[in-house]
Structure 1
Amino acid sequence: MDVALDTPAKTFIEVTEVWVPEGDRLVLAEGNYGALDAFAAASRKESFGKGEGLPGKAWAEARPVVLKGFDGSYFKRTEAAAEAGLTSAVAVPVFAGKELKAVLVVLCGDDANRTGAIEVWHEADGLLMLDDGYYGAARHFEWVSQHTHFPRGQGLPGGVWSSQTPMLMRDLGSGYRFIRSDSAAKAGLTTGLGLPIPVPGEKTFVLTLLSARGTPIARRFELWDARAARNGTKAEARLIDGICAREGALWDPDNAGNERTVAAWQGAIGRVLGTGVPLVEGGKPGLAGGYDSMVALPIHLGGKLSHIVAWYL
């Protein structure tokens, strides 16, 4: 029997939403708002045209967008966000070729203890450079990141760029593969998730989520390979990496019997496999490991579903 985990007092991300195209507007498909009922109610009344608000901007510009302040910006729910204590947001478009499948939006608060990182990297002149990011209280790590560039294959962003697959990194503060390990250790960052964000055209974007122990982005991460379905064989996704704060490693490359697969429409991951659209669940029984909420984000390469990345709190 799964036992619910003790929920941390604060998490780095407070709200997660999925906006999907309906005609010429983006409408709310689902969201996890925790106890922020008033902001949830305000969000359910909204929709966004192309270029309108944060989801509409990510759609129109076909790129991930970081917004670190709402006052005086194009953000449409500023008053409701202020009342909820939300101060910043990141919008991630999910494209399958030229088709927009959805926009995933995460919203964060800000205080002296909230530490983590949501970063968007873009390629320029043969290097990955920081497009923008939200770091909470990790100011020194933010400064280091602004002055760090990655060639293909180097560090977490460069590794994702080279492989065109999502990657997990453990022990960021001591791992030699994580280029910013010293400043990550000082900020208390422990686990890194990097994933490619395919968009129309020739632009390269990589999203990184860096989680700290005190205010985690997630306490369980999973990487699923959906390329079997992409190649026209049985529609299933296979777990290829994962880590859990309670269980440790979720995948053992030396133990073939440990392999886990899901079929289309089987559970939460199977639903993403079947629809190709992100999924957000919160406050529902039956999530893996007794967690309270989860996000599953599909990655479409060459217009077809390639991987699914999931994280749980």
Structure 2
Amino acid sequence: MSHALFINDVASTETAERTFVEVAEVWVPEGDRLVWSSGNYGALEAFQSASEKQSFAKGEGLPGKAWSETRPVVLKGFDGSYFLRTDAARAAGLTSAVAVPIFAGAKLKAVLVVLCADDEVRTGAIEVWSEENGLLMLDDGYYGAAKQFEWVSKHTHFPRGQGLPGGVWAASAPMLMRDLGAGYRFIRAESAGQAGLTTGLGLPIAVPGGKTFVMTLLSARGTPIARRFELWKARGAGPDGAKDALLTDGICQRDGPLWDDEKEKTVDAWQGPIGQVLGSGIPLVKHDTAAPSAGYPAMVALPLYRDTAVSHVVAWYY
């Protein structure tokens, strides 16, 4: 049974040229350093070239900091910071980034980094919530032009089971929410509606030591984080990993709701991009205009772990 929530089933038909996230990239450990694995840079070829040549020691740069601190890290400005590609990022118009470490138990599998560009139009949210004294509090977040929503978020907390972050915490599973501005289940609905936020994806981020982190990606109609979201639940876990994954929920601007209780949709390990992530346990960023995934040129597929096994694969397309 899906843990995702839908407020309604009406798919948006709007499209947008701009997206909230400009760059997505994956870094994987090789020896004592993180090296480039995959990424989508759009037209930012110079930044891509600089990134593919880069590597990070533990504690070095943004990916290395997420590794050493074993937690998601939000960096809202590069100048004067520990970010190592500041000049290339400035030339590309990039202004902020979020790094998410992916751990299988105590072992680092990868670090996902997303980078954004500030302007007066781009609206959305990438939030990191952490548990303090039995409540989820905002650890940090990036909101683009959604300043009022940012203020509300800083003054909001969630008990287990309440709102999108609290629901993810209680279920220990990813969740989707739709129509954030009108949904009674989304605690910040009024300010979300004013900011144009429509779709929310919540992810439990497992880290060594058991501290609770939940990451939320809140997508706006005008500058969406993605145009399609999918949640896959791993099944048949064994010594060689999960056998397959079941699509438990999904929404798409073009196709509407993606799940069908009467007709299961599954993917085998190593079958296509989702199966590759399921089999390898490594995030994947794919960009291919000649062979688009689900009709979209770019996608991010992220494994979520429970202890040392992949429990879910979450994908978003844009």
- 1:18 and 2:26 are equivalent in the alignment: yes
Is the Cα contact below 8 Å between 1:166 and 1:195 reproduced in 2? yes
Give the 3 Å change call, closer, same or farther, for CA 231–7 of structure 1 in structure 2. Answer: farther
Contact 1:229 1:237 in 2 (8 A): no
Identity %: 71
- Aligned residue among 276, 283, 294 for 2:281: 276
- Partner residue of 1:182 out of 190, 200, 205: 190
Q: Is residue 2:171 matched to residue 1:152? A: no
User: 1:135-214 to 2 correspondence within 5 Å?
Assistant: 135-214=143-222
What is the count of residue pairs matched by the alignment?
306
Once the 2 structures are TM-superposed, how far is the Cα of residue 45 of structure 1 from its aligned partner? Answer: 1.4
Q: Which residue of 1 aligns with 2:94?
A: 86
1:133 to 132, 136, 141: 141
Q: Give unmatched runs, 5+ long, in structure 2.
A: 1-12
Paired with 2:100 and 2:240, the residues of 1 have a C-alpha distance of 27
Query: Following TM superposition, where does structure 1 have runs of at least 4 consecutive aligned residues deviating by more than 4 angstroms?
Result: 230-234
Residue 98 of structure 1: how far off its partner (Å):
0.4
SS of the aligned residue for 1:226 comes to strand
Secondary structure of 2:77's counterpart equals coil
Indicate if the aligned counterparts of 1:264 and 1:271 stay in contact, CA closer than 8 A: yes
Q: RMSD across aligned C-alpha pairs, in angstroms?
A: 1.5
Distance 1:45 1:234 in 2: 33
Contact 2:232 2:249 in 1 (8 A): yes
Q: Under a length normalisation based on structure 2, what TM-score does the superposition of the two structures give?
A: 0.94
Deviation at 1:285, TM superposition (A): 3.3
Give the distance between the partners of 2:35 and 2:17, measured in 1 at CA.
31
Q: Helix, strand or coil for the counterpart of 1:160?
A: helix
* 1:36 Cα deviation after fit: 0.1
Structure 2 CA distance for aligned equivalents of residues 160 and 227 of structure 1: 19
Aligned ranges for residues 43-82 of structure 1 at < 5 Å? Answer: 43-82=51-90
Counterpart in 1 of 2:4?
none
Which of 295, 309, 315 is the aligned partner of 1:304? Answer: 309
* Residues 1:290 and 2:295 aligned together: yes
CA contact (8 A) 2:274 2:313 kept: yes
1:79-133 Cα offsets, whole Å, 9 max, x none, are: 0000000000000000000000000000000100000000000000000000000
Provide the C-alpha distance between the structure 1 equivalents of 2:151 and 2:309, rounded to a whole number of angstroms. 36
8 Å CA contact retained: 1:230, 1:305: no
- 5+ residue gaps, structure 1: none
Q: Distance in 2 between matches of 1:87 and 1:275?
A: 31
Shift of 1:10: 1.1
Q: For 1:224-303, list aligned pairs within 5 A.
A: 224-229=232-237, 235-253=243-261, 255=262, 257=263, 259-303=264-308
In 2, distance between residues paired with 1:150 and 1:96?
Answer: 26
Preserved contact between residue 227 and residue 305 of structure 1 (Cα < 8 Å): no
SS of structure 2 residue aligned to 1:289: coil
Structure-2 change in CA distance of 1:287 and 1:45 (3 Å): same
When normalised by structure 1's length, the TM-score is: 0.95
Question: How far off its partner does 1:44 sit?
Answer: 1.2
- Contact 1:93/1:102 (8 A) holds in 2: yes
For residues 63 and 234 of structure 1, do their structure 2 counterparts lie closer, same or farther at Cα, with a shift above 3 Å needed? closer
| Secondary structure at 2:160 match in 1 | coil
Q: Deviations over 1:256-284 (max 9, x none)?
A: x2x11000110000000110000000134
Partners of 2:242 and 2:38 in 1: how far apart?
28
Q: CA deviation at 1:290?
A: 1.2
Q: Say which SS state the counterpart of residue 210 (structure 2) adopts.
A: coil
